Amino acid sequence: MNGPEIHVEFAPELLVFVAQARATGTVRTATDGVAGLGHVVESLGVPLTEVGSLLVDGREVPVGHVPAAGESVTVRPHPHPQRVPGAPLRFLLDVHLGTLARRLRLLGVDTAYESTDIGDPALAARSAAEKRVMLSRDRGLLRRRELWAGAFVYSTRPEEQLTYVLDRFAPELRPWTRCTACNGLLRAAGKEDVADQLQEGTHRTYDVFAQCADCGRAYWKGAHHEQLEAIVERAVAARSGRR
């Protein structure tokens, strides 16, 4: 680009994407006089999924605004919680976010997950077809135009990832209602319904079970229940604290 030069200021949350702006929070860049401001911001490294609003000389403009020489642009992130209109809030996670997917399902959040790498085009197509918010750390995937909606997962630690997603989108929490393996809904089940999945000790010790309506997997309050309960309690307490 060798056209009009503009001054772009990024919110602190977005500087992780723009190495050249980290020292001052700003960058001067040339444009081609044709591309919209959204394209310019993405070319600097920020996926549009992370952009809540664009201001030009203090006035909010659409992503298609063609910047003129000397304009001062401010790039702001989405406010939290971010609203995603047009469909019930539900998510799609890529192959690298399996632990986050299981924890969201544990909380009853509708969460699809691809356990194999099906490729960016297929993920974007599924996001669009099912109207799911794509969660990923892949910036290239989040730049795909066919996405229904998306969000960058900033941390590599599952606990921080979960906290961030819950804070950013504030999904309704319905703990213990979804299968952590396939995302299906759970229903109460008798011991006889799941007996073929139980070892002798489990069959003798436990009497209360649930079963996935989709894949048939059995659930009970086993050895890891306290760890799972702690995850649920922290999430619910954090939600209550934000109200």
Which has more pLDDT, 223 or 217? Answer: 217
Residue 137 pLDDT > 90: yes
Tokens of 205: 């010790």
What's the distance, Cα to Cα, between the start and end of the chain in Å? 47
**Which residues make Cβ contacts (< 8 Å) with residue 120, sequence separation at least 6?**
138, 140, 141, 144
Euclidean distance between CA atoms 19 and 153, whole angstroms: 18
pLDDT band at 229 (very low <50, low <70, confident <90, very high): very high
pLDDT, tens only, 18-39: 998 888 999 999 999 899 999 9
What is the pLDDT at residue 198? Answer: 87
pLDDT band at 200 (very low <50, low <70, confident <90, very high): confident
Q: Among residues 156, 189, 177, which one has the least CA distance to residue 110?
A: 177
DSSP assignment of 100-133, as one string? HHHHHHHTT--EEE-SS---HHHHHHHHHHHT-E
Q: Specify the pTM.
A: 0.91
Lowest average pLDDT, out of 54-68, 79-93, 128-142, 221-235, goes to 221-235
Computed over every residue of the chain, the mean pLDDT equals 94
* CB atoms inside a 10 Å sphere around CB 80: 13
Cα 239 to the center of its chain, rounded Å = 17
